[in-house]
Amino acid sequence: MPHSHEQSLKERLGEDNFKKIQGIGNPSLNEFLVKFIEILNPEKVFVCTDESADIQYIREKALRDGEEQELAIPGQTVHYDNYFDQARDKKNTAILLPKGKRLDRVITTLDRETGLNDIFQILPNIMKGKELLIRFFCLGPTNSHFSIPAVQLTDSAYVAHSEDLLYRKGYQEFIRQGSGARFFKFIHSQGELDERKSCKNLDQRRVYIDLEEDTVYCTNTQYGGNTIGLKKLAMRLAINRGSQEGWLTEHMLVMGIRGPQNRLTYFTGAFPSLCGKTSTAMLEGENIVGDDIAYLRKVKDEVRAVNVERGIFGIIMGINSKDDPIQWNALHSPNELIYSNILVTPDKQAFWMGKDGEIPSKGYNHSGEWYPGKTDSTGKEIPPSHPNGRFTISLEAMRNLDPAVNDPHGVKIGGIVYGGRDADTSIPVEEAFNWSHGIIIKGAALESETTAATLGKAGVREFNPMSNLDFLSIPVGKYVLNNLDFGRNLPAAPKIFSVNYFLLDHHGKFLNEKNDKKIWYKWMELRVNREVDAIQTPTGRIPLYEDLKPLFKSILNKTFTEQNYLQMFTIRVQENLSKIERISEIYRNLLDVPSDVFHELDAQRTRLQSALKRFGKYISPFTLRGNRI
Beta bridge partners of 47: 134
Residues in the chain: 629
Catalytic residue among 48, 138, 218, 275: 275
Residue 621 and residue 430 in contact, taking contact as beta carbons nearer than 8 Å: no
Q: What count of other Cβ atoms lies within 10 Å of the Cβ of residue 472?
A: 23
DSSP assignments along 115-137, one per residue: HHHHHHHHSTTTTTTSEEEEEEE
Q: What single-letter amino acid sits at 547?
A: D
Q: Where are the strands (E) in 15-145, listed by range?
A: 44-48, 69-70, 76-79, 93-97, 109-111, 131-139
533 exposure class (CB count in 10 Å sphere: 0-12, 13-18, 19+) = middle
List all residues 6 or more positions away from 287 whose beta carbon is below 8 Å from its beta carbon: 255, 256, 258, 264, 400, 401, 402
* Distance, CA of 366 to CA of 83 (rounded, Å): 6
> Residues of 30-43 as b/e, b for ≥16 C-beta within 10 angstroms?
bebbbebbeebbbe
218 included as an active-site residue: no
Q: What single-letter amino acid sits at 45?
A: V
Alpha carbon separation from 221 to 191, 192, 226, 256, 358 (Å, rounded): 8, 10, 7, 36, 33
H-helix or E-strand spanning residue 587: helix 573-588
* Distance, CA of 301 to CA of 303 (rounded, Å): 7
* Distance, CA of 145 to CA of 132 (rounded, Å): 31
Residue 58 and residue 160 in contact, taking contact as beta carbons nearer than 8 Å: yes
Give me the active site residues, please.
275
